[in-house]
């Protein structure tokens, strides 16, 4: 559906898919506005807590890689550490430079956070659980994600610090440059799938009983396979993660563009970086790795016949399983992202830019062309079908 449809059906509980599930739970009429706010619900209930948990996971996983213990004081195994961090950030004093441009200084973390979190509205967690089933799903995610570079640049400028400005300009140039191979890799999948709707792309990867008979799109083509790695590298660079974190590295520019930010403003920058990572991992899982689909099982076939509160509980159980599978894949990718952080050294800024423009973009374009030629030569069938293992109907 288009954004206009989403807005105009805002007060109708039956038209929004999340509203379908809550309708089964017999939510009384005054809560009908809930369906209009479902993207907001997704963001608040999922993105923010998971971002917080990610900060804890990062510390524990990095401790594992470095053979130390990590946080273990604040909860059973340090699990409440992110609560403690959040409380600390709330209670810190909000400092600013004397000459800092306060209006812009306050807007900048908000822009970065809005850019990272807003994209979650189009990410599908299960067949009926997504913020908004937009027809331009993947494109919407990239569009909202482009607000992050603006926030970083404005934050760097308004802190009246030469090194922040340098870090911020480098970060903005890096993010803007790496949007191109990201878009090329996404375009490869959109071309193979024929639609930009992420829910439809995930449903096409159901094997063997799905309508396209495709397995995960990463195995559709050798060209899409290589473009997955182009997407992954470009996503790492978009989120300013190592090995591309020159803009915020401790040993390089004090702390780059977030030197002068403290307290909740810095908390928002750090949270937005993790949420960016989570978002790109979610998009990568949804378009390349099959989303919520398991190889031989069609989860939407689960019929238990249980009833809950007078409504059918099947959809809830299916949604729960789909969410579990999806989150397992996303967590695996996030683990790989953190693994890369503590394994690879950092790239210099000219190496970073030359990687983007001289290597990733030609490779991405070549693979786009290769995928197009494959589609034409094999009439849209994937590698699995050409070998002969496909099931399903076309």
Residue numbers of the site for other proteins (CB under 8 A)? 1-5, 7-8, 10-11, 36, 101, 103-104, 107, 134-136, 139-140, 142-144, 146-147, 149-150, 153-154, 157, 165, 169, 172, 176, 179, 196
- The nearest distance, CB 345 to other proteins, in angstroms, is 23
CB 204, CB 214: distance < 8 Å: yes
- Residue for token digits 């949804």? 286
When the beta carbons of 182 and 333 are compared against other proteins, the nearer one is: 182
- We find the least distance from the C-beta atom of residue 215 to other proteins, in angstroms, to be 25
CA 272 to chain centre: 11
* Nearest-approach distance from CB 196 to other proteins, in angstroms: 6
Helix (H/G/I), strand (E/B), else coil: 130: strand
Nearer to other proteins, 58 or 179 (CB): 179
CB-nearer residue toward other proteins: 64 or 101: 101
Distances (CA, A) of 150 to 144, 166, 278: 11, 15, 20
Rounded to an integer, what is the distance from CA 213 to the centroid of its chain?
A: 26
Residues 6+ apart with CB under 8 A from 370: 221, 222, 223
* C-beta closer to other proteins: residue 122 or 299: 122
Q: What is the maximum alpha-carbon separation in the chain? A: 69
Nearest approach, Cβ of 214 to other proteins (angstroms)? 20
Report cis status (omega within 30 of 0) of the bond before 96. no
Q: Minimum distance from CB of 23 to other proteins (Å)? A: 19
Q: Is the CB of 2 or the CB of 351 nearer to other proteins?
A: 2
- In this complex, which beta carbon is closest to other proteins, that of residue 136 or of residue 372? 136
C-alpha span between 335 and 296 (Å, rounded): 25
Question: Is 35 or 300 the residue whose CB approaches other proteins more closely?
Answer: 35
Cβ pair 383, 219 in contact under 8 A: yes
Inter-residue contact 325 to 298 (CB < 8 Å): no
Q: What are phi and psi of 312, to 5 degrees?
A: -80, 130
Q: Which of 217, 54, 210 is nearest to 127 (CA)?
A: 210
Residue 349: CB minimum distance to other proteins, A: 15
Q: How far is the CB of 8 from other proteins (least distance, A)?
A: 4
């Amino acid at each position: 559906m288009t954004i206009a449809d989403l807005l105009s059906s805002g007060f109708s509980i039956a038209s929004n898919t999340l509203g379908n599930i809550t309708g089964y739970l017999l939510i009384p009429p005054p809560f009908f506005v809930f369906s209009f706010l479902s993207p907001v619900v997704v963001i608040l209930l999922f993105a923010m807590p998971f971002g917080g948990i990610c900060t804890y996971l990062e510390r524990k996983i990095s401790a594992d890689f470095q053979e130390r213990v990590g946080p273990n004081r604040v909860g059973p195994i340090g699990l409440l550490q992110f609560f403690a961090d959040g409380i600390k950030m709330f209670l810190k004093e909000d400092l600013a430079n004397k000459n800092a441009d306060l209006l812009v200084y306050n807007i900048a973390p908000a822009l970065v956070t809005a850019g990272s979190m807003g994209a979650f509205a189009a990410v599908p967690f299960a067949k009926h659980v997504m913020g908004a089933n937009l027809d331009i799903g993947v494109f919407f995610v990239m569009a909202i994600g482009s607000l992050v570079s603006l926030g970083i640049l404005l934050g760097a400028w308004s802190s009246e610090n030469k090194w922040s400005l340098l870090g911020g300009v480098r970060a903005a140039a890096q993010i803007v440059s790496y949007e191109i191979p990201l878009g090329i890799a996404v375009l490869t999948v959109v071309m193979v799938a024929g639609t930009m709707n992420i829910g439809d792309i995930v449903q096409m990867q159901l094997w063997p009983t799905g309508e396209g008979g495709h397995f995960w799109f990463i195995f559709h083509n050798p060209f899409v396979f290589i473009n997955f790695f182009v997407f992954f590298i470009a996503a790492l660079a978009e989120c300013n993660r190592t090995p591309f974190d020159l803009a915020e590295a401790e040993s390089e520019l004090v702390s780059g563009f977030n030197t002068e930010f403290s307290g909740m403003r810095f908390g928002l920058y750090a949270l937005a970086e993790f949420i960016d990572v989570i978002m790109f991992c979610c998009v990568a899982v949804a378009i390349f790795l099959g989303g919520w689909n398991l190889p031989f099982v069609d989860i939407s076939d689960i019929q238990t016949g249980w009833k809950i509160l007078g409504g059918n509980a099947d959809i809830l159980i299916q949604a729960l399983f789909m969410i579990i599978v999806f989150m397992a894949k996303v967590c695996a990718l996030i683990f790989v992202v953190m693994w890369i952080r503590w394994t690879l050294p950092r790239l210099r800024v000219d190496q970073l830019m030359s990687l983007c423009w001289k290597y990733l973009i030609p490779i991405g374009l070549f693979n786009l062309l290769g995928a197009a030629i494959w589609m034409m030569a094999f009439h849209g069938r994937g590698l699995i079908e050409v070998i002969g293992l496909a099931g399903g109907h076309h």
